[in-house]
């Protein structure tokens, strides 16, 4: 049996480009995902992803199909939504989740309307579900630049970010600029979201941004592990997803997210520490549970 | 050697112009454990937060050992419910965080930092639990883990917000021992607390607070019926008495 099909994708230039972009996007999003999961920013990230659409549409209306302006448009729109949410939730009785949901539904609708009246001939589904196979040179440079900004910042600020995430009040009392770091995190979130827009589109961007860390979270009790392995998992998972989409002739964006989701499902089922099967098996050994309780009691009374 | 002291003079703390603590003056010596007692809304948390700079002070001043607020010298521990115990971190890593302030953002751990961490774990009786994730600890152990972190930070003033809330009797006693030990090491420990009975066993001194200072002094002297009535029955600033039957 010939294995030529296995190496087929690596022969085409558009695939090489897509694979490289995908690995980079996967790694950046995967690393950031540790912060999104721990900080519980998933809903906010989702809202922001959807708000990228009107930004893209406005940029298209004014400047036509130029990659650089799309980037700026998306950045502005996402920042607007991020700060708009803060404004609404802080200055009225509306809570943050409500204002987020409202803003993201409205901005997404606005984006769809604007795209439909845009003179540039665009395929809406490219923005909704991504088109990594159409990755151009400029796109690749943008992805590369975003990774060069996001990754060093995350690595350099690991300690203050960790302090802030564990308990903001203590961090503030130690002189950590908590508010500034929060905004920085949102900024980085927007940036890496823009890079994943190209790969999986606005609807699926959230998958790349939370699945890797959520998976590692079920295995590990160490934040650095979550951080680094999240990057590795995001990178390998998305690349495998892309290859699978080529081999099976399926759409690339959904394949990438599904692969990451499948890895999460495996962790959810089989993780030795926090997996559901392990929990079930442990739960049935009654004497073990009571032994643990007895030990705990002996410990507290001894110490 | 002169004992370090925390001096609070004429301190007023307000939220949006509504004062929570009024014109408070106190001089607290290191080496003692102090209970901060008062009804709900008496300004206990506000006072603790003001001491560590988390809420702005309206008037007055706070100085430690003759200097204005030194962030690393004062450690604040919020109520236990404020912390996400599923955070992926072990006890040792938590205590290591105490060293971040002196290490800055990048500098790697030195042998000296590791020693401080080990010493803090040992002092708080956590050596056997060092590799556990923090949710796998009992309530009292969790409090001690955060105390160890502040110890590694080389803090001298420990401000604890309701550390005994939700702990059963033996755990409470064990944590009380840890607090006494901190005081014996020359630190100043101030803990807000609401149970008057256990306060007698737990603290050397008590501050009775209800918007303003009602009394301060050695526990055995100050915690008498008259002072307790003044603290818990008369609501000096809130007007209406919310909780007439508070645990006495």
Q: What CATH number has the domain bearing residue A62?
A: 1.10.3470.10
Q: Any chain A CB within 8 A of the CB of B165? A: no
Number of Cβ atoms within 10 Å of the Cβ of B245: 6
3-state secondary structure of B216: strand
pLDDT of res. B79:
85
| Residue A130 shares a structural domain with residue A172 | yes
Structural domain count, chain A: 2
Q: Give the ipTM of the model, two decimals please.
A: 0.81
Q: Is the pLDDT of residue A301 over 70?
A: no
| Residue A266 shares a structural domain with residue A284 | no
CB within 8 Å: A166 and B97: yes
- Among candidate residues B147, B182, B136, B142, the one with its CA nearest the CA of residue B166: B142
Q: Any chain B CB within 8 A of the CB of A154? A: no
pLDDT of res. B239:
45
Most A CBs within 10 A among B45, B88, B143, hence the mutation to make, goes to: B88
- Among candidate residues A131, A141, A120, the one with its CA nearest the CA of residue A202: A131
List the single residue in B with minimal CA-CA distance to A34: B88
Q: Give tens-digit pLDDT for A108-133.
A: 898 889 888 877 677 778 888 888 88
Mean pLDDT across A191-195: 87
Going along chain B from its start, the domains and CATH numbers come out as: 5-88+155-232 (3.40.50.300)
| Residue A187 shares a structural domain with residue A50 | yes
| Residue A246 shares a structural domain with residue A213 | yes
| Residue A267 shares a structural domain with residue A279 | no
Q: Give tens-digit pLDDT for B183-212.
A: 998 899 999 998 888 888 889 999 999 888
Is the distance from CB of A193 to CB of A142 less than 8 angstroms? no
| Residue A208 shares a structural domain with residue A81 | yes
CB within 8 Å: B71 and A167: no
Alpha carbon of B174: minimum distance to chain A alpha carbons (Å): 8
| Residue A115 shares a structural domain with residue A141 | yes
A62-76, A203-217, B194-208: least confidently modelled range: A62-76
- Pairing type for strands B33-37 and B205-210 reads parallel
Residue with tokens 């521990």: B77
Q: How far apart are CA A33 and CA A199, in angstroms?
A: 16
Q: Give tens-digit pLDDT for B66-122.
A: 777 666 788 998 888 888 899 999 999 999 999 998 888 888 899 999 999 999 999
| Residue A253 shares a structural domain with residue A285 | no
| Beta strand spans in chain B (E) | 5-15, 18-29, 33-37, 57-64, 67-68, 74-77, 157-160, 188-193, 205-210, 212-218
Structural domain boundaries enclosing A205? 4-271
A201-210, A271-280, B155-164, B230-239: least confidently modelled range: B230-239
Is the distance from CB of B10 to CB of B60 less than 8 angstroms? yes
CB within 8 Å: B90 and A221: yes
Q: How many Cβ pairs within 8 Å bridge chains A and B?
A: 76
Higher pLDDT, B245 or B31: B31
> Measured between beta carbons, which residues in chain B are less than 8 angstroms from residue A173?
52-54, 71, 74-76
Q: Which of residues 217-276 of A touch B (CB under 8 A)?
A: 217, 220-223, 225-226
Q: Is the pLDDT of residue B139 over 60?
A: yes
Is the distance from CB of B154 to CB of B72 less than 8 angstroms? yes
B8-17, B45-54, B69-78, B200-209: least confidently modelled range: B69-78
| Residue A10 shares a structural domain with residue A154 | yes
């Amino acid at each position: 049996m010939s294995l030529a099909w296995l190496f087929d994708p690596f022969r085409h230039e558009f695939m090489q480009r897509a694979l490289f972009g995908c690995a980079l996007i996967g790694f950046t999003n995967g690393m950031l995902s540790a912060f999104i999961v721990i900080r519980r920013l998933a809903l906010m990230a989702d809202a922001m992803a959807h708000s990228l659409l009107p930004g893209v549409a406005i940029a298209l209306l004014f400047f036509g199909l130029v990659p650089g302006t799309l980037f700026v448009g998306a950045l502005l729109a996402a920042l607007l939504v991020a700060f708009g949410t803060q404004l609404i939730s802080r200055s009225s009785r509306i809570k943050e989740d409500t204002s987020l949901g409202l803003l993201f539904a409205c901005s997404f609708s606005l984006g769809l309307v604007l795209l439909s009246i845009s003179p540039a001939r665009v395929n809406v589904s490219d923005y909704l579900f991504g088109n990594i196979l159409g990755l151009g040179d400029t796109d690749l440079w943008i992805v590369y630049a975003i990774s060069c900004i996001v990754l060093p910042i995350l690595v350099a600020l690991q300690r203050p970010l960790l302090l802030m995430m564990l308990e903001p009040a203590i961090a503030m009392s130690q002189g950590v600029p908590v508010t500034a770091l929060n905004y920085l995190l949102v900024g980085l979130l927007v940036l890496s979201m823009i890079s994943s827009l190209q790969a999986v589109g606005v609807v699926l961007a959230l998958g790349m941004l939370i699945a890797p860390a959520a998976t590692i979270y079920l295995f590990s009790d160490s934040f650095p592990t979550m951080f680094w392995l999240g990057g590795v998992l995001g990178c390998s998972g998305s690349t495998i997803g892309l290859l699978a989409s080529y081999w099976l002739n399926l759409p690339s964006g959904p394949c990438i997210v599904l692969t990451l989701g499948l890895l999460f499902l495996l962790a959810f089922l089989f993780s030795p520490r926090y997996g559901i099967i392990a929990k079930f098996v442990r739960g049935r050994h009654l004497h073990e549970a009571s032994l643990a309780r007895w030990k705990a009691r002996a410990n507290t009374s001894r110490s | 050697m002169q004992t370090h002291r925390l001096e609070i003079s004429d301190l007023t703390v307000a939220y949006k112009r509504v004062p929570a603590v009024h014109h408070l003056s106190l001089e607290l010596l290191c080496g003692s454990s102090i209970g901060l007692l008062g009804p709900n809304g008496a300004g206990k948390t506000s006072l603790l937060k003001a001491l560590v700079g988390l809420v702005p002070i309206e008037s007055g001043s706070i100085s430690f050992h003759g200097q204005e607020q030194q962030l690393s010298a004062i450690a604040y521990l919020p109520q236990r419910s404020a912390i996400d115990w599923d955070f992926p971190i072990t006890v040792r890593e938590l205590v290591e965080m105490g060293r971040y302030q002196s290490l800055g953002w990048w500098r790697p751990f030195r042998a000296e930092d590791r020693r401080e961490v080990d010493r803090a774990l040992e002092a708080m009786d956590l050596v056997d639990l060092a590799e556990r994730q923090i949710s796998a600890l009992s309530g009292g152990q969790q409090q001690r883990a955060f105390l160890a972190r502040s110890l590694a930070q080389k803090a001298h003033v420990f401000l604890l917000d309701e550390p005994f809330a939700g702990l059963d009797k033996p755990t409470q006693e064990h944590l009380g021992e840890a607090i006494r030990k901190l005081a014996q090491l020359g630190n100043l420990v101030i803990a807000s607390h609401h149970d008057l009975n256990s306060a007698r066993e737990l603290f050397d001194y008590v501050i009775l607070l209800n918007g303003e200072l009602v009394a301060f002094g050695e526990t055995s002297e100050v915690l008498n019926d008259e002072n307790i009535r003044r603290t818990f029955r008369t609501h000096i600033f809130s007007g209406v008495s919310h909780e007439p039957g508070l645990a006495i």
